[in-house]
Every structure is written in structure tokens, then in C-alpha cells.
Amino acid sequence: MPTPILEVRDAQAAYKVPGGAIRAVDGVSFDLAPGETLAVVGESGCGKTTLAKAILGLEPLTGGEILVQGKPVGGDLSGLAERVGIVWQDPYASLDPRWRVGRSIAEPLRLHRRGDSGDRVDEVMKAVGLEMELKGRFPHQLSGGQRQRVAVARALALNPPLLLCDEPTAALDLSIRAQILNLLKDLQDDLGCAYLYISHDLTTVRFIADRVAVMYLGRFVEIGGIEEVFTDPRHPYTRALLDSAPTLAKLGRLPDVLPGEIPDPLEVISGCRFRSRCPRGQERCDTVDPEATAENGRRFHCHFPVA
């Protein structure tokens, strides 16, 4: 196995709030190989974005460590951007409305003093399929798809070996969604970069990812190959997520909704964190936090896994 591009070891990140701390990321561990795509799925508020911010060094860890190309994240961030890029969810919000597109794409190059940024800007604009004449436009003068292409170009400008995608298609129309997904896939074939793809849209995840991690309340409850997890989920939460995803076959009837809400993240839960909503919960789940079970290259936390 090649050296992983990203190693996350028992990462923990907590926000201080009045009345305690929200443990947004609470003991996450995984590796990501060069050129591989790992999708992270889960409900809103499960800690997906905090995990991405921690990898970028924008959110300090309260425990564990994150290594990018073997070097720990933290302290001086200036060099990290050359190793990790990010495509944000909403390109309209992540581009400075007063900056012309060409300047926005050139920003990382200027920040890292890459000489002659003009050529590189042309290069990445071409790579993401943007017309050169768009360089002089402002973000509000572009279509949603063009804006997201600009965001991708900007993330790729420094040619980072790892690209984080934080729900890159969530803010886009369905028709444009496919374009961006294909673009990301083509870019990966050409450049060989690894993706950490954060989403709650299981359909796009299945299209783009090699492996998938299911996150619940700050922890990966199940992680494994995309086909195995999607066809044969072991954790009851994964099962529930798959059941609630709308598909053509289920058109016309409401999806099976998971009962209850995500518990208040301020509370420290004894035992399994999913037990309040779990259909398979038993006495043991109330007291004992399930250890990771490893099984044919997949890992899950459950005392009574789905067969």
C-alpha cells in the first residue's frame, strides 16, 4: 500500500459554547491513498464540515492528529494550501464579489509566489472548461455552473495532491450537477489527485467515490468500499440512510424516515451514540460504546450489526 496522502488519527474537534462544548468531530480515524476518493456522508450537523476545516487547519484539533503527506497539520498554514485544496459548497459565497474571476484564480498563485501566474491561470481555466474571456467577469455575472468551475480552478491552481469537496454540487441545479461531477472525475483521471468528498447526496456519492464513510454525531459509524457498503450495509444508521434516499423505484411513496432527531450534541451520551434512534437497540447499547469491528476491509461500530 502506498503512503497515504491523508492520515487522520483519532481526530477530535470541539466548539466551546455557553453550557459546555459541542464535540463536532469526536474520534475520527481513516487513511486516504493518493488518487483515491473517499466520500463522507451524514445528516446536517454531524461534523462533516468541521472535519474538512480541521484538515485545512482552520479548526484546531482538541485531540488526535491529522497528517497530510506525513506532515502534521497545525501552526503555520501557509504551506498547507499547496498540499490541500478545497471546493466549497456555495461558489457564490466563497468567491469575493469584488474580485474578477481571473484575479480570484490567481490569488493562490500570488500568495505562494508562483512566478508568472498568468500562464497557470489560463491552464487551469482550460482544464475546468472555462472560456478565457470570462477572466474579466465578476462572480455575479457567471452562471452557477461557471462559478463552481471557477471555484474548482482556484482549488487546483496550486496543483494540490488532495482536494476536499464540501458538498460541491448541493447549491447547483440538477442539470449542472452532472457536469461538475463529470468534471471532478475527469480531473482526477488527468491529475491523479485524491478527493475527500463530503455530501449528503447518496446518488452522487455512489457515482464518484471509491470508499464511503458514514458519519453520525462526530464519528464514522461505518467505513468501507462503496459497493459493499451500499449493497450490504452493516450499521443500522447506514441502512436507514440508504432507505431514506429517494430512488426511481420508490417514486410515489414517502421514504422510510428515521424516527427522532439527532440528539443534542451538548449531551454526552453513554453507550452507543446512535441508540436513541436505533431500531435494533438493546440493553447493552445503553451502556457500552461499541468498539470498531473490522471485516473484509470495512469497519463499523455496532453491537448488533445488520446481517
Partner 1 sequence: MRGLLFWGSVVFLALLLLFAVFGPQIRHGPFEIVGSPYIKPSADAWLGTDEQGRDIFSRLAYGARVSLLIGLSVVTVGILVALIVGTGAGYGAPWLNTVLMRFTDGMFAFPDILLAILIVGIVGPSFWAVFGALAVIAWPSMARLLRNQVLSLKEQEFVTASRALGAGHWHVVFKHILPHLVGLISAVAMVEVAMIILAESSLSFLGIGVQPPTPSWGSMINTARTVMRSDILPLLWPCLILSLTILALNFVGDGLRDRFDPKSAAGG
DSSP 10: E
Which of residues 90 and 210 has its CB atom nearest to partner 1 in the complex? 90
Which of residues 154 and 301 has its CB atom nearest to partner 1 in the complex? 154
Which of residues 11 and 81 has its CB atom nearest to partner 1 in the complex? 81
Task: Locate 80 and state its grid cell.
Answer: 498547507
Which of residues 97 and 252 has its CB atom nearest to partner 1 in the complex? 97
Q: What is the CA 231 to chain-centroid distance, rounded?
A: 21
CB of 26 to partner 1, least distance (A): 22
Task: Give residues in contact with partner 1 (CB under 8 A).
Answer: 56, 58, 77-82, 86, 88, 90, 93-98, 107-108, 111-112, 138, 140-141, 154, 158
CB of 246 to partner 1, least distance (A): 28
CB of 88 to partner 1, least distance (A): 6
| Beta strand ranges found along 110-217 (DSSP E) | 162-166, 194-199, 211-216
Angle between helical axes of 174-191 and 144-156 (0-180°, round to 10) = 20
What is the rounded CA–CA span in Å between residue 56 and residue 114?
Answer: 21
CB of 266 to partner 1, least distance (A): 21
Which of residues 76 and 261 has its CB atom nearest to partner 1 in the complex? 76
CB of 41 to partner 1, least distance (A): 22
CB of 108 to partner 1, least distance (A): 4
CB 285 within 8 A of CB 303: yes
CB 232 within 8 A of CB 296: no
* DSSP H or E run through 219: strand 219-225
What is the rounded CA–CA span in Å between residue 88 and residue 94?
Answer: 7
Q: What is the CA 305 to chain-centroid distance, rounded?
A: 25
What is the rounded CA–CA span in Å between residue 294 and residue 263?
Answer: 27
Which of residues 98 and 253 has its CB atom nearest to partner 1 in the complex? 98
